[in-house]
Amino acid sequence: MRKFVTRLIKLFVDLILGRLTKRRLYELFWGRLITVRINNLKRLIDQQDAKGLDLYDGLKKNEHKKLINAKHSLVTYLVRMDSASGDQQTLADTSAKLTSYKERLCIDVNELRGKTVLEVGSGHAAALSNCEISELVNVDPLMNIYIKYIKGFPDLIPDTVFLKSDAESLPFEDNRFDFIICINALDHFNDARKATVEMGRVLQPGGKLFLNVDCKNRLNVRIRKRVGHPYSFTPAKLQELFEPTCLNVTFEQSFDIGPSHTMHFIKE
């Protein structure tokens, strides 16, 4: 109790003297609420880990919803923390991201020139925005959060469409896009299997999916990391995941970066 009172007094003094930054205040209040919320899910997470299951496997509907809501709240908190720090999107960020995309996806971006491209689980990177693509659409379930809190986004990227959408229910007709990009996102999705089917659905026959996934064992890791990454993939597990789809593998390679695994698919 004495320790708590001492900390409270110090906080009050810092507030009076103007030594508390906006970021620190946000961290002290919302950060602790997020931590409490996630810690309340520890029993459920430990239960899944003990069974050797991915976080969402075999859950009741209400349990699944609690974990998804906690994940979204965590990402929203992290984005707002960056906003409170005054971080701002720049064209240099986009350029650096493009270099990473080319390396991790093993692609020549000239192949995308003049084509229709969908990036699923894009975040706010917009790495492909300067690749002379005829139509570039970025979808992410938290897109509204990025637009609201990230300074400079999406004003710096006027020719790209940004939509809020889950990967499991893409708001497009069948056979809509020439290419689909999904990088470092599949292990964050709410239902990876539904997402793979949806990506296959909106891809044109003869179209290509370029996929990169971090292949890390997420079991028994720090609880925040577990909530944010509900799936643990291996190359073999990725192949199994895509077997029911209309997509056939044409290229596959593992990297130390991440470590991650890259796959190219074509829709027959």
Q: Which of 62, 84, 106 is the last residue of a domain?
A: 84
Burial code (b: 16+ CB inside 10 Å, e: under 16) for 113-140 equals: eebbbbbbbbbbbbbbbbbebeebbbbb
Residue-averaged pLDDT of the chain:
89
Across the range 73-79, mean pLDDT stands at 91
Gap between the Cα atoms of 84 and 31, Å rounded:
13
With a cut of 60, say whether residue 19 has pLDDT above it: no
Could you tell me which residues come within 8 angstroms of residue 7 by beta carbon, excluding any fewer than 6 positions away?
none
Q: Residue 8 — very low, low, confident or very high, per pLDDT cuts 50/70/90?
A: low
Domain shared by 205 and 80, yes or no:
no
Q: What is the pLDDT of residue 60?
A: 94
Of residues 15 and 266, more confidently modeled: 266
Q: What is the pLDDT of residue 241?
A: 95
**How many distinct structural domains can be found in the chain?**
2
> In the chain, pLDDT over 70 holds for what percent of residues?
91
The SS3 assignment for 9 reads helix
Domain shared by 261 and 159, yes or no:
yes
Q: What is the pLDDT of residue 16?
A: 53
Q: Residue 83 — very low, low, confident or very high, per pLDDT cuts 50/70/90?
A: confident
Question: Could you please report the per-residue DSSP string of 206-245?
Answer: EEEEEEEEE----TTS-HHHHHH------HHHHHHHHTTS
Domain shared by 108 and 35, yes or no:
no
Domain shared by 78 and 99, yes or no:
no
> In the chain, pLDDT over 90 holds for what percent of residues?
66
Domain shared by 216 and 95, yes or no:
yes
Q: Which amino acid is at 150?
A: I
Domain shared by 77 and 98, yes or no:
no
Q: Which of 58, 84, 110 is the last residue of a domain?
A: 84
Domain shared by 59 and 131, yes or no:
no
Domain shared by 226 and 104, yes or no:
yes
Across the range 203-217, mean pLDDT stands at 95
Phi-psi region of 126 (alpha: psi -120 to 50; beta: other; left: phi over 0): left
Q: What is the pTM of this model?
A: 0.88
Across the range 226-242, mean pLDDT stands at 93
**Full residue range of the structural domain in which residue 209 is found:** 91-267
The pLDDT tens digits for 186-200 are: 999 999 999 999 999
Q: What is the pLDDT of residue 260?
A: 92
Domain shared by 148 and 111, yes or no:
yes
Cβ neighbour number for residue 217 with a 10 Å cutoff: 9
Domain shared by 180 and 220, yes or no:
yes
Task: Give the domain CATH number at 194.
Answer: 3.40.50.150
Among candidates 189, 194, 146, 186, which has minimal Cα distance to 169?
A: 194
Q: What is the pLDDT of residue 252?
A: 96
Domain shared by 58 and 98, yes or no:
no
Q: Which of 26, 58, 84 is the last residue of a domain?
A: 84
Domain shared by 238 and 137, yes or no:
yes
